[in-house]
Amino acid sequence: MQKFISDIQTTIIGTLDKEGLPFSSYAPYIYDNNRFYIYISNIATHTKNIEANPHASLLFIEDESRSENLFARKRISLQCTSVQIPRKSARFKAVMKLFERKFDSSMIAMLQKMTDFNLFELEVKAGEATFGFGKAYLIGGEDMNELVSRHGGGHQQEE
């Protein structure tokens, strides 16, 4: 899983609003110690949704320009629970240093001065990976970061 996501700089975030309607957005992310971290504004709809309902999905998908077949883009979809990391905690400081290393450090420094931005940690509870037709896996293992064979009947064709 980590090999696939390492080239992807942002994740698509799926959340549910108070009425249970789905909403998708995106954010740059950090993956550290088997957890994902996103630094997002309170003004954003996905932040309001996560605060009301801590369940979220993350989607990592192959760039269209690199895909051999747009009907079979490589992707990993993860079901997660989220928690806000307190701004004054050691974990907040450590993760923000990782953001500074991965992204434009001056941009991260500017965002940290904005008090409406918060850091969320997302823990994977379940997931699926698809790397083409007939190449589907479940996400499993002790740390929820391993590809596990998915047993099934496969695709069926009309006769």
Would you list the domain boundaries of the chain? Answer: 2-149
- Amino acid 143: pLDDT: 78
| Closest-CA residue to 124 (of 109, 138, 106, 104) | 138
C-alpha separations of 55 from 14, 32, 90 in Å: 9, 19, 24
How far apart (Å, rounded) are the C-alpha atoms in residues 42 and 20? 19
pLDDT band (50, 70, 90) for residue 152: low
Per-residue pLDDT at 155 exceeds 90: no
Express as a percent the part of the chain with pLDDT over 90: 70
Q: Is the pLDDT of residue 2 over 90?
A: no
Three-state DSSP at 33 gives coil
Handedness of CA 130, 132, 136, 137 (dihedral sign): negative
Distance of CA 47 to the CA centre of its chain: 14
Q: What is the pLDDT of residues 38-85, one digit of tens each?
A: 999 999 999 999 999 999 999 999 999 998 889 989 999 999 999 999
Identify the bridge partners of residue 79 per DSSP, sorted by sequence position: 57, 126
Would you state the pLDDT for residue 56? 98
CATH level 2 (architecture), domain 2-149: Roll (2.30)
